[in-house]
């Protein structure tokens, strides 16, 4: 079975540009999570969805960040406008039913560099 798929794997952009990160969760998984990883802050949860509905977006840094999940097999994380401090690795993860012993499976990540 295919794992979580993310694209692009690397993104280099200039400050002020719009960036869109994409994720395809594992088929049959009802939960989708977006994380950001930096050296300073470690792994931070940005937002998560259950059955395509955003449940908790309290981790989204500010209004420049938005996330959508139009269907069960696709989600986007958009940054507009991007800033150098947004440079990080962004992970998408999915899990089956979100319960205590439910394992999250991560995508390969998108390494974003904002110049």
Our finding on whether 107 is near another protein (CB under 8 A) is yes
User: Would you count residue 106 as binding another protein (CB under 8 A)?
Assistant: yes
What is the sign of the dihedral through the CA atoms of 103, 39, 60 and 111? Answer: negative
Give residues 71-90 in contact with another protein (rule: CB under 8 A). 89
Smallest distance from the beta carbon of 16 to another protein, in angstroms?
A: 26
User: Is-contact 93 77, C-beta < 8 A?
Assistant: no
- Tokens 């394992």 correspond to 103
- Pick one of 18, 28, 38, 43: the residue that binds another protein (CB under 8 A): 43
Among 48, 49, 65, 90, binds another protein (CB under 8 A): 48
Instruction: Give me the residues that bind another protein (CB under 8 A), please.
Output: 42-43, 45, 48, 55-56, 89, 91, 93, 98-109, 111
């Amino acid at each position: 079975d295919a794992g979580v798929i993310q694209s692009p794997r690397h993104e280099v952009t200039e400050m002020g540009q719009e960036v869109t990160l994409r994720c395809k969760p594992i088929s049959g998984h009802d939960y989708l999570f977006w994380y950001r990883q930096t050296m300073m802050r470690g792994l931070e949860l940005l937002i998560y969805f259950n059955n395509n509905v955003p449940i908790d977006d309290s981790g989204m840094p500010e209004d420049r960040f938005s996330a959508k999940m139009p269907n069960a097999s696709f989600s986007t994380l958009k940054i507009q406008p991007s800033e150098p401090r947004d440079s990080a690795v962004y992970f998408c993860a999915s899990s089956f039913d979100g319960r205590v012993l439910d394992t999250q499976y991560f995508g390969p990540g998108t390494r974003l560099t904002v110049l």
